[in-house]
Chain A
Amino acid sequence: MYQASHLSYRVREKILLHDVSLAIVPGQFTAVVGPNGAGKSTLLKTMALEHSGYHGDIVINGKAAKAYSSRELSFVRAVLPQNTTVQFAFTVEQIVALGRHGYRSSRKENEAIVDEVMALTGTDVFRARSYLTLSGGEKQRVQLARVLVQVWEETLYPRYVLLDEPTSSLDIAQQQYIFSLAKKICERNIGVMAIVHDLNQAVLFADHLYFLREGKLVASGAAQEVFTKPIIEETFCCRVNVYRDPCNNCPYVIPEREAFAPPHSLVIEK
């Protein structure tokens, strides 16, 4: 389990996270939703230990996260940032293989893993192309492949993947592909946490949902149970209606046509 308890993080006077507790369970898909500026990316970066100025505890597989070296951490968790820009003309295959950096395994083993993940993500067909020439959706799949390669090997301990809006600016088919892939890799004793912008995708794929607003948790729980009109309205300050899709046997949300206030106007003064 990847457990964050009572996380708080502030930069000068600005509180970015306040008393947030979150658990990523191996074999399950955990999604974090919330309005822009709610602190979702900050939460993910804090959990990935990108900075150390937080309060609270992060425990990975029973061991305090701060006790891991960066190399040890790379064996248990991989992170897909919101966007990764590459300056130099690396080929797709070179980018994916970078995920094996920390391992001292043989070239053969590395190649086998890279090949398997590239086939799974459909990136093998353009493996020799320069990364700079790819489309947005292709780039995202290459980065996802790089992240998966890092934690692909079956181990005795569970591994984790943190995805920061893996489908932002992708079309509906690319979104579906990436989320179903993320769901599928959970079977490999991997726990997935993703920040998801599209609420309907979130409830469709996630096992657990966390609603975040202004750095605080509004609600959390089994996805279908917390995906309710009051919780969504409170999180996003926006009138919506929740229906049930009989096809997927899953709820979905449609916003009302008329906005009753500009976004974030309900900010409570501290």
Chain B
Amino acid sequence: MNLTLATRDYRTTLILTGLSLCLIVATLFSLSVGAVSIPVKDVAVILLQKLGLFRSVTIEGMHEIVLSSIRLPRIVMTILIGASLGVSGSALQALFRNPLVEPSLIGVSGGSASAVVMVIVFGSALPLPVNGWLYHSLLQLVAFGGGMLATFIVLELSSQLGKTNIAILILTGVALNALAGAVIGLAIFYADENQLRTFTFWTLGDLGGATWEKLSFAAPLLVTACAGLLYFAPSLNLFSLGEAEAYHTGVNVESTKRRIIIFAALAVGISVSLSGIIGFVGLVVPHVIRVSFHSDNRLVLPASVLGGALLLVLADVIARTVVSPSELPIGVVTALIGAPFFIGLLMNAKRKHEL
């Protein structure tokens, strides 16, 4: 197999196109299944109508309402969150040169979740709006702030002579996650009956509460964060050699590193504020891409955007249908798929002596 760089570019396009097609098919499928089954054909027609095409055909009114007010915002949110988690995971793995890093490991998710839970439980004492657009925007800002704060604490504690010590980074991440767990637990302890029910939301994730209202603020931020991370894909290739090597090859290491971490914290923080902590997507998706194709981040990052979205859309279909009309927490499904896969990865790495 003697591929030149040109054929590899061609292959990258091919892989990304294939993944996009899979995502489109999965999306249409996900939109059609549920309590009310809508034929895929009708889904496509409604979507085309929304885009201003295909006006003549009439579709059952009920289907259109279910689709446009429940399933469409949910699928948009699922895709955005899956994409954000996937791309942040692959960016952070490349940045820290560690295949076992995932967004929650460096404290982003824990920081976001504990900040949001604190605001929900103790925020009632403050003169804050309790519902509506402003409230959701506030929660998202808090989630982002909490995630950033946790990440910077972890980074600051793990910096040694101006460089990031990966072992300390991961251990402080573990410590901070434990702390975040305690903060969430404490908030739950003081929570009332009603707030208690949201507990599973923050620890296992929930894609149920999607509304266009929430998305109007979050979606542009998530898209910005993903685009920002994609921009750094070529520089991340150099980080795979080491920070000094990246610097020698012309990368402004410190500013690049900081920007990548801010974009990742933004992506994960906002995701957590929308859906709680959803584990394993950010860890597993980049690995699947690397194992199946190759490690060039110019492929891994965009493919993680698509792959993360694809995985979460499929997991959501399973979560919604297996115990219908009830719903499994999405984190249960991703962990059920992710955990055995992760163990498999570890065993594989062990066999190859890569750890």
Interface residues of A (CB under 8 A from B): 11, 45, 48, 50-51, 69-71, 73-75, 77-79, 81, 84-91, 93-95, 97-99, 101-102, 107, 110-111, 114, 127-128, 132, 150
Contacts and interface: CB of A to CB of B under 8 A. Distances in A.
A95 B295 CA distance: 11
Contacts of B235: 101
B166 to A, nearest CB: 10
A20 B161 CA distance: 23
B56 interface: no
A50 B234 CA distance: 21
Interface stretch (B76-84, B117-125, B240-248, B326-334): B240-248
Given A90-B295, A94-B296, A114 B241 contact: no
Contacts, number: 93
Contacts of A87: 97-99, 240, 354
A127 B4 CA distance: 9
Given A48-B248, A74-B250, A98 B5 contact: no
A128 B296 CA distance: 13
Interface of B: 1-6, 9, 94, 97-99, 161-162, 234-235, 237-238, 240-242, 244-245, 247-253, 290, 294-296, 352, 354
A73 B234 CA distance: 18
Contact of B245 (A51, A81, A88, A110): A81
A99 B248 CA distance: 9
Given A73-B250, A127-B2, A132-B354, A89 B290 contact: yes
A128 B2 contact: yes
Contacts of A114: 5
Contact of A107 (B6, B94, B162, B249): B6
B252 A98 contact: no
20 contacts: A48-B248, A70-B250, A70-B251, A71-B251, A74-B248, A78-B249, A79-B244, A81-B242, A81-B248, A84-B241, A84-B242, A87-B98, A87-B99, A89-B290, A98-B238, A101-B235, A101-B237, A101-B250, A102-B249, A107-B9
A162 to B, nearest CB: 9
B332 to A, nearest CB: 30
A128 B161 CA distance: 37
Return the 6 tightest CB-CB contacts between A and B, nearest first.
Answer: A74-B250, A102-B250, A88-B295, A79-B248, A71-B250, A87-B97
